[in-house]
Structure 1
Amino acid sequence: MSVKVERVARPNTDQPLRGRCVLVTGGARGLGAAISENLALAGARVTIADVDRASAATTCETLAGRGLDVSFQCFDVRHEASVTEAVHDARTAMGGLDVVINNAGIDITAPVDEVGATAWHDVLMTNLFGPYLMCHAAVPMMRAGGGGHIVNIASTAAKRAWPNASAYHATKWGLLGLSHALHAELRDAGIKVSAIVAGGMRTPFLLDRFPDIDETTLQPPENVANTVRFVLMQPDGTVIPEVMVLPMRETSWP
């Protein structure tokens, strides 16, 4: 799969994350778009990565139109060659790679005996294998650069369980475990690893699949994006390995 990097405006502003080079997977819509916007507003140079080229281009154009330093890539986090190429291209285009946000994720809602092997496998590959591939490609660059930060977007599904979501739970529990394992493994190299345990959000991820959901039990994705920025802004000697961000009326948490 070919990977195309398109870069646009680079504002010269004095902002807290100015100059940080960030790659956000699943960055075209929902939480990923909110994270991309938030970090770009804080001065980061953001590459919006998504499997949906049209959506990634639209989000990029919208943010670039506001003078933010953004670009976009189209690749599938399930495919090793595409991930490796995309990560290297992003580093080349931005002049470095300081932060990877593993946000891309999918779900399927059905009893385990009704979920086909292909569908279950797709969730596994996107939600868990994809972050591994991103880390596998990015960590050598971060080591060579003297440090970096990996942020994994987990879920309350990594802490509790409800029916008809076996694949999603398995991958989010796995992602949380991967995140803590890499925190222990990489901190001596100056690489921080953080997991954001996000509660329900008003994003297409839920709203498109559950049109009758009570939106008052959900939080805006901007609140979670603010937490991502907070985690990235900790001093060099401090890391937040895990933080939970819930709406006040979160239904999956007591």
Structure 2
Amino acid sequence: MLILLPPSEGKTPADAGSPVDLATLSFPSLTDARQNVAIALAEVSGQKDALTQLGVGASLVHEVSRNTRLAHEPAAPAHSIYTGVLFDALGYQSMTATQKRKADAAVVVVSGLWGAVGFADSIPAYRLSMSVGLPGLGKLASYWKPRLAEAVAARAEGHLLVDCRSSSYAAAWVPDPDRTVAVNVFTERDGTRKVVSHFAKHTRGELARHLLTRRGKAPETPAQLAKAAAEKWSVELVPGTGRKAHALNIILAD
């Protein structure tokens, strides 16, 4: 089982540590592509209209400034850099050592800067959304799509993929639909369902934690995933088609 996550928008910078070593990150075939994105990001982040180009507000000026010196910023494991609703619900720091090893092996974070990283990969804090376009590279989702398809394919082969990514990050890599289950979260009141982004992030984080901390074997099929999720929530499994992944719908009472 692999659990695909989006990065958090905000990051928690490392207090100390060595800078990122691109050669040590998971999926080393992405090293050159990562370097290209980092160079383009540093250039854009140093310009007067950097905030506009990166689609962020004035309160994030310090985070954008950090983008210009990522090669020298201290790095730390991705599970400590990525913070926010989803990652708080996943609760890596409160896991046992065995559960942490499972998370390090199973979690892949799809990223606008790195393409994809493992949960234990050491990276600096940065600010870059997958929806951004960078000079010379274009829209990042399009830039990464063929590269991730090649780089992550070997790691994904034979695994059930639990896809907890948001739409912009899902666009950067479309895995084998037969082995992929997209996780959707709805609230329901009087038979009417609504999509809610905040609760979706939280619930996807809770699902990831449940899958990594529950006893027994990890799910190997969509049906087994639905059964595992049903231990905590009301769920339905929508079978995929030849070109569309399966969907696990988690229904929350409103």
Q: Which category describes the TM-score, using the shorter chain as reference length?
A: 0.3 to 0.5
> Higher relative contact order by CA 8 Å / sep ≥ 6: 1 or 2?
2
TM-score (norm 2): 0.34
Select the structure of larger CA radius of gyration.
Answer: 2
